[in-house]
A = this chain, B = another copy of it.
Amino acid sequence: MGKGVSPAADTRGRIVMAAMELFWAKGFNSTSIADILSRTQLNAGSLYHVFPGKQDVLIAVLEAYRDGIEENLLKPAWEGVDDPIERIFALLARYRWMILETDCTYGCPIGSLALELHEADPVVRDLLAVNFANWAGAIEQCLAAAGDRLPADTDRRALGEFVLTVMEGGVMQARTHRDVGYFDRGVDALRTHFDMLLARAARRPEPVQGD
Q: Give me the interface of A with B, judged by CB distance under 8 Å.
A: 25-27, 29-30, 105, 107, 111-112, 114-116, 118-119, 125, 128-129, 132, 155, 158-159, 161-162, 164-170, 172-173, 175-178, 182, 185-186, 188-189, 192-193, 196-197, 200
Closest chain B CB from A64 CB (angstroms): 18
Most B C-beta atoms less than 10 A away, residue of A118, A128, A159, A162? A162
| 17 cross-chain CB contacts under 8 A | A26-B119, A27-B116, A105-B118, A115-B115, A116-B116, A125-B178, A158-B188, A161-B173, A161-B182, A164-B169, A165-B170, A165-B173, A165-B189, A168-B172, A168-B173, A193-B196, A196-B197
Closest approach, in angstroms, between the C-beta of A193 and any C-beta of chain B? 5
Q: Which residues of B contact A166 (CB under 8 A)?
A: 162, 165-166, 169
The answer to whether A111 and B193 touch across the interface, beta carbons within 8 angstroms, is: no
User: How far is it, in angstroms, between the C-alpha of A197 and the C-alpha of B199 when the chains are bound?
Assistant: 12
CB distance from A128 to the nearest CB of B (A): 5
Q: Is the interface of A mostly helix, strand, loop or mixed?
A: helix
Which chain B residues lie closer than 8 Å to A196 at the CB level? 193, 196-197, 200
Q: In the complex, A185 Cα to B156 Cα: how many Å?
A: 11
Given contacts A165-B165, A165-B169, A176-B129, contact A111 B118 (CB under 8 A): no
Cβ-closest chain B residue relative to A122: B178
Instruction: Beyond the given A115-B172, A168-B169, please list 11 additional residue pairs across the A-B interface where CB-CB is below 8 A.
Output: A26-B119, A30-B118, A115-B116, A115-B175, A125-B176, A129-B177, A158-B188, A161-B186, A166-B166, A169-B172, A192-B193
